[in-house]
Homo-oligomer: A and B are copies of this chain.
Amino acid sequence: MATMHDVARLAQVSVSTVSYVLTGTRPISQATRNKVLAAMAQLDYQPNAMARGLASRRSRILGLLMPMDERGLGATETAFVTGAAAAASVAGYHLVLSPVGGGNLDDLRRLASQRMLDGVVLMEVQLADERVTVLQEAGVPLVLIGRTGDTSTLSYVDIDFDQTVREAVAHLVGLGHRRIVYVNHSAATLASGYGPALRTRDAFTAAMTGHGLEPVMIAAEDSAAGGRAALAAAFAQAPELTAVLAMNETAIFGILGELTGRGLSVPDDVSVVSMVTSPQVAELATPALTAMTSPGSALGRIAIEALTRHLDGPADHRHQQLLPCALEVRGSTAAPRRTALITPGPSSNDGG
């Protein structure tokens, strides 16, 4: 393995000159540059990452910290990762995926203190997330995918849940639906302070109320069985429901199965909208799901771009951005079969 010394000797220049050619830190004449470049090519020289990292105090490695619990990554999270990896590569960084969950803060502290990571993107952020504190204390530059409760000092990229829910509800209401049930993540997830679950809950309440409709929300475990149970609960609470809105890529298949099992057809009897869903997953269902398509890879890409800009440029502070999900109408939504039969919700604010 050739080193800088070898290159310098072959090109008949000093080691530092080779370094300047490589990094562009100081001007080098074209003639010298060419000699050095030729020597590098001839020796098939690659700079040693560790030495470079030690001397420059920058590893050019970025961390993507993700929970990776039991079930692994859904299509949406996967899209974050691929987007982030691509953007990191473009910016000349490597991307380390670290399965640092919420539990092992000590592992995280160790990782952060080892100076191996120039910066970090944090996924699946809770409203109160200790990992943020740990990383800030360790002085590691940080961008969130998601948001904590107080975002005043942080950079983040997140989905615009408010607008996403509003659009989804508007789509259904526009088709004539009045009894719409929202299937959220599990009660435990809500209780743990998981932002998306809480924000969509509030947004749904606001959107429905805005249309003069009663918001009904059901919490569902992230599984097909959870979806089935949730649908049963939904019918118990709102027997005349004609539409289901869900943000639970896994549960939604249980919902569809249970619907079929009850002899109800989608979308004729019940319309279904899946929020924050990838097209690939939406197409898996029969009929294909009308969905609010998550900005997936864009989120990862933007997070990395914000991070690298902060690291490379000097003072680029606080990138805060919300990305909407795009409504993609497929086969799972239609006008309700029997609009006339629907009893209006308790708040009938028609005619003022």
Contacts and interface: CB of A to CB of B under 8 A. Distances in A.
Interface of A: 1, 44, 46-51, 53-54, 57, 59, 61, 68, 71-73, 75, 78-79, 81-82, 85-86, 89, 94-99, 107, 110-111, 113-116, 223-225, 250, 253-254, 256-257, 260-261, 280, 283-286, 288
Contacts of A114: 46-49
B73 A85 contact: no
Contacts of A284: 224, 250, 253-254, 284
Contacts of A280: 71, 223, 250
A54 B107 CA distance: 23
Given A50-B50, A78-B78, A89-B107, 10 more contacts: A85-B98, A94-B116, A95-B96, A95-B98, A224-B284, A224-B286, A224-B288, A250-B280, A253-B285, A260-B286
A254 B282 CA distance: 12
A54 B46 contact: no
Given A1-B115, A54-B51, A224-B283, A73 B71 contact: no
Contacts of A50: 50, 53-54, 57, 59, 115-116
Given A48-B115, A114-B47, A72 B78 contact: yes
B96 A68 contact: no
A217 B50 CA distance: 51
Taken together, the copies of this chain in the complex come to 2
Counting from the closest, the 4 A-B pairs by CB-CB distance are A257-B286, A72-B78, A46-B113, A50-B53
Given A224-B284, A253-B284, A283-B224, A86 B115 contact: no
A97 B96 contact: yes
Contacts of A68: 81-82, 85
Contact of A72 (B46, B75, B224, B254): B75
Given A110-B46, A114-B49, A95 B97 contact: yes
Contact of A85 (B61, B94, B99): B99
A82 B72 contact: yes
B89 A99 contact: yes
A65 to B, nearest CB: 12
A97 B57 CA distance: 22
B73 A225 contact: no
A78 B67 CA distance: 13
A78 B73 contact: yes
Contacts of A225: 283
Nearest to A282: B224
A304 to B, nearest CB: 13
A107 B47 CA distance: 14
A116 B85 contact: no
10 contacts: A50-B54, A72-B75, A72-B81, A72-B82, A94-B116, A95-B97, A224-B288, A225-B283, A253-B286, A260-B286
A50 B95 CA distance: 16
Contacts of A81: 68, 72-73, 97
Contacts of A78: 72-73, 78
